[in-house]
Chain A
C-alpha cells in the first residue's frame, strides 16, 4: 500500500462522538500509552488466570465444592504477596535482595534488545563475573575500601570478557547470538565447576564445588547494617544496580554510542547509511551487557551469598529476559519489572507459609505476564481494544537477521 493516509482530514469529529466518544477516546489512548498499559493489563490478566491455578492447587476444597473457601484462599494468597514483599523491614529486605540481581541482569538483556540483539547469555556472564569477584573476595584481606571496589570491578571485567565472545562471533562470523550465548552458558557452567574444584578456589576440607568464603572486609556493606539486625542481608549491590540503571539511561540518551546502539536496534540499515559500524556496535553492546551481568554475579557472591557455588546464578539470567521484555528495555521499565519480579519472589515465600498455596504460583504468574507481553494481539482480543493500529510488540531483531 502506498496510500497510508496521513493528512488529518477535515470533519474529524463524528456524530456519535457524544455517546461512544469517551470510551473510544479511552481505548484510543490505550494504543498510545501501551508502554505502561500493556504490561499492566498483562499483569492483571496473569492474576486472573492465577486464581484458577490457586483454585486447582486447593484440590480438597474443590472436591467439596467449597467455593467460599476457595475464594478466601485466593484472597489470602493475593494479599500475602504484597504483604510478604513490602510490609515491614524483613519483607522489604527480601524484596531488595531478590530485585538486585534481576535488575542488573535485566539491564544486560535490555541493552542488547536496544541494539536489536538477544542476550540469552546472562547466566554465563553472571557466573564468570562471580568467579572474578569471589577470587578478589577471598584472596585479598582488606581494607574494604579497596577490596570491595576491586571485587566489583573484577566481576564486571570478567563478565565483559565473557560477553565479547558472542559479540565477536556475531560481528565477524555472523554466528547468531542466541546460539552462541546459550553455548557460552554451558561452557561457563562447566568452567565454573572446574574452577571451583581447583586448589586456588576450593574451600579447605571440602571436595564439592564451593569456593572459599569471602573475607569480611571483602563483603559488600549491608544496607541496613546500622539497625543491627543480621537477618536483614540486603547490601549495597542494590545501590550499584540503581546506579547501573542510571548509567544505562545516560549511555543511551546522552552519548554518541548510545545513539548508535539505538539506531542500530531501530533500523540497522539506516545506521549503516549514517556511517555507524554495525560490527563494532554489536561488540560494544555485548561487552556492556557482559559488564552488567558480571556486576550481577559480583553482587551475588560478594553481597548476598559470600561465596560461590556452581549454581549461584540460578535462573536469574533467564528471568532477566522476562524482566527486560516486561520493562520494554527502558531503564525505568526494567527497574520496575525487576522490582515486580523481586517482590513476587519475596512475597511468594510468605504466601506459601500463610496460605499453603505453593510458591510455584509466582513462577506461573511470571510466565503468564511474559506470555501476555509477547502477545499484544492476544491482549487486544482479551481486553477488546478495537483500534486498528496494532499494539507494538516487544522490539528486538528477529531470528533471521
Chain B
C-alpha cells in the first residue's frame, strides 16, 4: 500500500498550519516526520486521520484519490494511529480495550470474551508484544499501555501505523523495546510514520526522514547520510547548539536541604517516600525519572502547593516546611511549574499581567491595595526585551503566544530577581529548539549567579545536558545520586526503570 499526501494546505484563523505539504508513505518502511512543536506535524496527521479536513490538496491511496470524513473512514482505509495520550479505559482489561468498538459477538449481540481473548493473544504473540489479555489497564506501566494501543491498531488491520511522539513517556529501555516492535511491524510489510522531535531517534529508526518547518515540508533526508546537527539545522532553519554550554559547577554551601520528606495523597498512598537530598548553591541538580514517580508531588511539596506529612524542607537554614506558596516565593525561591498552561500562566491575561503573576504583591508593584501598573508594564517591557519574548506587545494575551514564548514569560518572571533557589519542573516541555537553548542558558546563568538549582525533567537528555548531579526518582524514592560526569544515559535509565538501586549511604 502506498499513501500519498499531495499539496495539503490547512489554515486556521491567523495561521497556515500546513502549507502545500507533500508526503509519501510506503509499506515496509519507516518514515520519520520531524519538526518543532508548532511546525504542523499533528495537524497533518489529523488530516490524514480524518479529524481535520484539508482546505486544499488531496490524499491518495495506491494512486486513487480518497476523502476521509472521519477517523472511521481512515481506519477503513487501513490507517491506524497511536496517539501521544492513550485512549484506553483504565478499568477494562487489555482484551476489552482492544476489541472496544469492533467486538466479536455471539448470538443476540453477546460479547464473545473467549474469542476476544484468543484474537488478542494471537496478535500479541505474532508481533512480540507480550501482552496478557486479561490484565487491567490501570495496573500496567505506560510502556505496556502503549503496546495495547499498538495492538488496537493491528487488531483493526492497519496497513499504515502513525505514532505521535511515542517515546515521550518511555524509559530508555522501553524505547529499545518499542523500536523492536516497530521493526517487527515493518517486517510484516506495514508502513510506519514516526512523528517526533527527538532527532537521535529519527536517525536511529527511520528509513526516510521528512522535515516540517512552519507548516511546510522543507526537505527529505536519508538517515544514512545526515547527522543530528545538520538535521537540527534543517528543522529549525538555522545552526543550533545541541549541547548546553557551561563551566564546571562550583558548589558552595548547602542551600536546599530536604530531610525525610514524606508526602501522601488523600487516600493515604505514599507519593514521596522519605526523601533526603541537598542542593548546594552554585550547582544544578537534575531529577530524572519516568513520569509519575513522585517528581510532581516532590516539587509541589517543596513549593508549598502540597501538604507535607513528615520531614522538613530548609532553604539556607530557614525552615520552609508547611509554608504557603507566597512564603516560599518570599524566601527567594523561584518556581517554574511543570505545566505552564495549567498553572504557570493565566492564558487570558496579558503578557504584562503574567509577568507579575507571582510578584504583584512585592513592594515594587503594589502598595498592598492598589497595583502599580505603570511599573508593572515598564518591567514587563524590559523583561520581554531582555528575555527575548516574541510577542506583538505586552498587552497581548499570553495564551496566544507560542509554547516557547509562553515559557520564556515564565522564565523571565521567575529568574529576574535575586534568588537563593530555582526549582524548574519540565522547563522546556513542548518548547521549540531555539527556546530550549535559551532557557537552558538562563538556568545555567542562575546557577552561576550563585543560586542552587533543582531541575526536574522526564526528558533524560535534558537532565543529562543541564545537571551537575543527577538524582533518580523511582516510585517516590530517590534511588540514585550520581555525579553527572561519572554516569551514563544507560546507567540512569536502569535506575529510572527500577532495575537498579543504590545502597543507601
Residues of A within 8 A of B (CB): 1-12, 14, 28, 31, 254-259, 262-263, 266-267, 269-275, 277, 387-389, 395
Contact = CB atoms under 8 A, between A and B. Distances in A.
B369 A273 contact: no
Nearest to A277: B324
Contact of A3 (B14, B39, B344, B348): B39
Contact of A389 (B13, B342, B357): B13
3 closest Cβ contacts across the A-B interface? Answer: A3-B42, A275-B326, A5-B17
A3 B403 contact: no
Of B37, B84, B368, B401, which is in contact with the most chain A CB atoms at under 10 Å from its CB? B37
Of A11, A256, A257, A274, which is in contact with the most chain B CB atoms at under 10 Å from its CB? A274
A266 B348 contact: yes
Given A5-B12, A256-B371, A270 B43 contact: no
Contact of A263 (B46, B216, B346): B346
B37 A2 contact: yes
Contacts of B360: 256, 259, 274
A275 B361 contact: yes
A164 to B, nearest CB: 21
A275 B325 contact: yes
A272 B16 CA distance: 36
Given A256-B371, A389-B13, A9 B215 contact: yes
B357 A263 contact: yes
B352 to A, nearest CB: 11
B337 interface: yes
Contacts of B303: 273
Contacts of A387: 13
A7 B214 CA distance: 6
B13 A256 contact: no
A169 B135 CA distance: 43
Given A2-B84, A5-B39, 8 more contacts: A3-B17, A8-B16, A9-B16, A255-B369, A256-B371, A270-B346, A273-B305, A274-B360
A259 to B, nearest CB: 6
B238 to A, nearest CB: 14
B462 interface: no
A10 B237 CA distance: 14
A2 to B, nearest CB: 6
Given A256-B368, A272-B325, A6 B38 contact: yes
B324 A275 contact: yes
Interface string B28-39: 000000000111
Interface in B365-416: 366, 368-371, 373, 401-403
Contact of A256 (B84, B347, B370): B370
A267 B371 contact: no
Contacts of B71: none
A33 to B, nearest CB: 13
Contacts of A11: 16, 19
21 contacts: A1-B43, A3-B37, A5-B18, A5-B38, A6-B38, A6-B401, A7-B15, A7-B215, A9-B214, A11-B16, A254-B373, A256-B366, A256-B370, A259-B360, A262-B346, A266-B346, A266-B348, A270-B342, A270-B344, A270-B357, A275-B324
Interface in B235-280: none
Of A7, A8, A263, which is in contact with the most chain B CB atoms at under 10 Å from its CB? A7
A1 B216 contact: no
A3 B43 contact: yes
A225 to B, nearest CB: 36
Contacts of A4: 38
B2 interface: no
